[in-house]
Amino acid sequence: MPRYHGAGLTHVGRVREINEDAILTDPEMGTLWAIADGMGGYGHGDVASDIVTQQLAQIEEDAAPIPGLRSSLLQANQLIQNRSAEPGMSRMGATVVAVMLKNAVAHIAWAGDCRAYLMRQGHLKLLTRDHTVVQDLVEQGLLATKDSENHPDAHIVTRAIGYEHNVEIDALSVPIIPNDLLLLCSDGLAACLGDQEIVSILRRETGEATMCESLVQATLEKGAPDNLSVICIGVRPGPTLVPGPASGTGP
């Protein structure tokens, strides 16, 4: 089995006063990672994103990946609903992308516009589909992809944890091989950096922590109007097993 090594970084950006993103990193086991982006427009977004990552962190190591991720996010959905109903609180939610790595497979669950990418042999592939008004328009043929980033409704998501009583969690499983790189990010990074800019940075840097730092710095140089978060997870070959001396009795 391959080994996983990763790093994560979150930043308030250059405009917002509060960072409503939260990240979950697993540098020791390397199997569970997540980014939650609090919906500040509804208030208390940082509370919602913290609830999401805290709930994900409770997944048992031997849990079935996709059911475990979905169950955890649905529990977070209910907890946020309950918290929103408390005195002094208001409607809130968080978009999320989470990955559980098990048996050389990346199991990914998400709601909203946080993203997961796979970098393989220098090529970047978007694995998730944004749950946004703009993405729906593109898929219906009502909006060109090139016009989507500047659309006035580009920031409106159609799914978020805690925002509705019922939320649908999308999920997929992707086989991974040594030298692959998984990239998770919030929309604060994806909205500022295009695929080619991301690829250029990932090709240039060698360590996951440095990749995260460079991606954040590049986003800050673009103005970073939103909070931004990124996680890079490298897939490395597992240990080589060397057979021991033969045992048993001689003739």
DSSP tag of 6: E
Domain boundaries 3-236, corresponding CATH code: 3.60.40.10
For 85-137, the pLDDT digits (tens) are 999 888 899 999 999 999 999 999 999 999 999 999 999 999 999 999 888 88
* Rounded (10°) CA dihedral 32, 187, 23, 157: -80
The 10s digit of each residue's pLDDT in 138-172 is: 778 877 776 666 677 777 899 999 988 999 999 99
* pLDDT at residue 246 greater than cutoff 60: no
Domain ranges of the chain: 3-236
User: In this predicted model, what pLDDT tens digit does every residue of 21-70 receive, in sequence order?
Assistant: 999 998 777 899 999 999 866 678 999 999 999 999 999 989 999 999 99
Residue 97, helix vs strand vs coil: strand
Give backbone dihedrals phi and psi of 215, rounded to 5 degrees, phi first. Answer: -65, -40
